[in-house]
A and B are shown apart, each in its own frame.
Chain A
């Protein structure tokens, strides 16, 4: 298996632009997670899905952030409009079981100017 696949790997955009990050989980995994990592705040859970249904989105910073999982093999995290404070590495991860390990993608490094 190719593992969790994220795109783009790097994105540089200007404040106010829309950003869409994409994730393909490992086939057969029922859980998908979106994390944000910064030096100041560490690894923050934004939202996670089980069987394509959002279970907990309490970590989503504000209405500018939205996430969808239209099917078992694809998820998006959208920021509209983007702001400089959104600059971070965004990780997607998937898991097979409720209590199993998470497999992380390589991450998407976002820079908002």
Chain B
């Protein structure tokens, strides 16, 4: 079935450094959603990208969807300790027999050293 591969698995940064996580698929994605899970918490929705080449920003976070809709990235500028957590990308099936199905990537665990 559809799988999104996410890299890196872990990322350790010094506070103030930038961070990027990547999501890749061998097939065209209907859309990409990004979630953040704080340690001990539950996944929380960040954003959804639908259009080819789409770029969206939320303060220090920049989300991109590739032109071919096969990859996506999340970039955090000048990380802060509050950015600690696991970042997941996920694809939501827009049609077919499994319409509405949301499949997560493996996630990138971000730690930030103050």
Contact = CB atoms under 8 A, between A and B. Distances in A.
B31 A99 contact: yes
Nearest to B105: A42
How extensive is the interface on chain B, given as a class?
20 to 34
Main secondary structure of the interface of A (DSSP, over half): strand
A43 B94 contact: no
B63 to A, nearest CB: 14
A103 B99 contact: no
Interface residues of A, number: 24
Interface in A71-110: 91, 93, 95, 98-107
The 9 closest A-B pairs by CB, nearest first: A101-B45, A104-B42, A43-B104, A98-B100, A56-B98, A42-B106, A104-B43, A107-B42, A31-B100
A56 B93 CA distance: 12
A55 B103 contact: no
The residue among A43, A56, A104 with the most chain B CB atoms within 10 A of its own CB is A43
Interface string B19-38: 00000000000110101000
